[in-house]
Amino acid sequence: MKNKRLIGAAAAVLAVSAALTGCSGSSQSQADGSKTIKVVYSDANSAALVSWFTEVTAEFEKSNPNITVDLEPIKGAVSDYYTKLALMNSNPSTAPDVIYEDSFQLKSDAEAGYLAPLDTNLAAWADWSQYSDSVKQAGQGSDGKTYGVSVGTDARALWYNKDIFAKAGISVPWQPKTWEDVLNAARTIKAAVPDVTPMNVYSGAAIGEGASTQGFLMLDYGAQNGGLTDSSGKWLTGSTGFVNSLDFINTVYSEKLGYGPQVTSSTTYSTQVRTQDLPAGKLAIDLDGSYIPQNWGATAAQPWPDWTNVMGVAAMPTETGQAPAQNSISGGWTLAVGAKTKAQDAAFSFISTALNKDNAQKLAIDYSLIPVRQDVSTDPAYLASNQNAAFFAGLIPDTHFRPATSQYSQVSNQIQVATEAVMTGQQSPADAAKAYDTAVTGIVGADNTTTGK
């Protein structure tokens, strides 16, 4: 049986110095013709993802006895993963062959020269026809070449605890029609069930991209005159939708409807929400992703089988109930090949094994993803596995994706700064929005901005 080198986050940080002392780099070839490819992914406390990569590796190695897979899970917050991955990619001796790549990072990483184009490999892969054109675009770089293959997508909505709602006298199923309806439900819960946190809206620097995707953008794209860019792709400044979205966050935290700083300033913020407070009945409403049931399944560290009876889902309404009445944000991860690989065909073969029909379906079920392969999304086994499959599929027509530009990650950092300033009371929503406008103009240039309404 082949040895596996499961290298944690510390190895990623020390990899450069280790290489100087003889530690092997990526895509190593041996005298007998065998190879080792390095596969790096984010292990952000997900037993389902770890299990999936481990099982895919076993299947791949069985079919390719001359290739050994060196799995390197990087533990910690997702923001730490981005940092450590950039460090690894900066040196040929530590750069991965296969990368678990967040779709919003893909364009900037491709432009940085970290990713290899896959068009030739994809042209020969029969399964590529199972992916729609819109899904394929998620893996495209600014040059139109494809650098990643989507493993699945997601959506976001309001998760709520039916038992807490019953105690507060709020009838279920619950579907708020406006932002004010959401806030009023949280206020009712605070008054009637004071020993629970009424609502979670991810905000602040500690949660990183979650503050943008799970929190702010779920508001901004549903606001009147909202959104980050106009129809031509120019970045909006002076947007009333941006200010109103920050005002919602200000209301949550100033009225103490959300968590205090002891939680929001912690890098384990989302872990506490999903693995502790929701199962324990300590949080009433959580604005979060379709994928969070992965924390409660049979393979989770602490399974919560009763979640199917306790938790309900509601679409996040638009600001005043204006059309289309609901809003969601979608994202997802891809598998990509590192630009410094010396074994691109072997690396892509790992990807095609990982994303064949059976493995893609297993990940969709165990990791609570919305499938992107057409044959998985219609499979009875998948549909039967997820009681919320139809609900989240119903959000996709009204969902939004983060701007497909390499500048997005820098802009997102400024969103996180703005939400941090508002939630901690350091700035008013209007002042935080002005600071954001100045920062974004500096990032993209004045010619690439336009004044919103």
- Strands annotated E in 205-324: 235-237, 283-289, 311-314, 316-317
Task: Using the predicted structure, report yes or no on whether residue 132 has a pLDDT greater than 50.
Answer: yes
Task: Using the predicted structure, report yes or no on whether residue 14 has a pLDDT greater than 90.
Answer: no
H or E segment to which residue 43 belongs = strand 35-43
Q: What is the DSSP letter of 355?
A: T
Q: 380-399 pLDDT, tens per residue?
A: 999 998 899 989 989 998 99
H or E segment to which residue 337 belongs = strand 333-337
Provide the whole-model pTM. Answer: 0.83
Q: Where are the alpha helices (DSSP H) in 90-231?
A: 103-111, 119-123, 133-137, 162-168, 179-192, 209-210, 217-220
Euclidean distance between the first and the last CA atom of the chain, given in angstroms as a whole number? 63
Residue type for position 56: V
pLDDT band, residue 29 (cuts 50/70/90)? low
Angle (nearest 5°) at CA 88 between 86 and 92: 120
Share of the chain above pLDDT 70, in %: 92
Task: Using the predicted structure, report yes or no on whether residue 25 has a pLDDT greater than 80.
Answer: no
Report yes or no: 186 and 285 within 8 Å, Cβ to Cβ. Answer: yes
Place of tokens 């993963």: 81
Q: If you count DSSP H runs as helices and E runs as strands, how many of each does the chain have, helices first?
A: 21, 15
Q: What confidence score (pLDDT) does residue 33 get?
A: 59
Report yes or no: 65 and 313 within 8 Å, Cβ to Cβ. Answer: no
Q: 433-453 pLDDT, tens per residue?
A: 999 999 999 999 999 999 988
Quickly name the fold that domain 9-146+333-368 has.
Answer: D-Maltodextrin-Binding Protein; domain 2 (3.40.190)
Where exactly are the structural domains of the chain?
9-146+333-368, 156-330+403-451
Question: Cα–chain-centroid distance for residue 185?
Answer: 27
DSSP helix/strand/coil, 311: strand
Q: What confidence score (pLDDT) does residue 26 get?
A: 58
Q: What confidence score (pLDDT) does residue 1 get?
A: 41
Of 382, 349, 348, 378, residue with least CA distance to 363: 382
CATH number of 156-330+403-451: 3.40.190.10
Q: What confidence score (pLDDT) does residue 34 get?
A: 77
Distance CA 139, CA 156 (A): 21
Number of neighbouring beta carbons within 10 Å of residue 167: 15
Q: Do the domains spanning 9-146+333-368 and 156-330+403-451 agree at the CATH topology level?
A: yes
In order of 75, 86, 355, 390, 416, the CA distances from 83 in angstroms are 12, 5, 26, 36, 17
Q: 329-374 pLDDT, tens per residue?
A: 998 999 999 999 999 999 999 999 999 999 999 999 998 899 999 9
In order of 256, 359, 363, 365, 389, the CA distances from 155 in angstroms are 27, 21, 16, 15, 11
**Listed range (4-18, 103-117, 165-179, 306-320) with the worst mean pLDDT:** 4-18
Angle (nearest 5°) at CA 311 between 310 and 313: 150
Place of tokens 């086994």: 381
Task: Using the predicted structure, report yes or no on whether residue 416 has a pLDDT greater than 90.
Answer: yes
CA dihedral 314, 320, 323, 329 (to 10 degrees): -50
H or E segment to which residue 49 belongs = helix 47-63
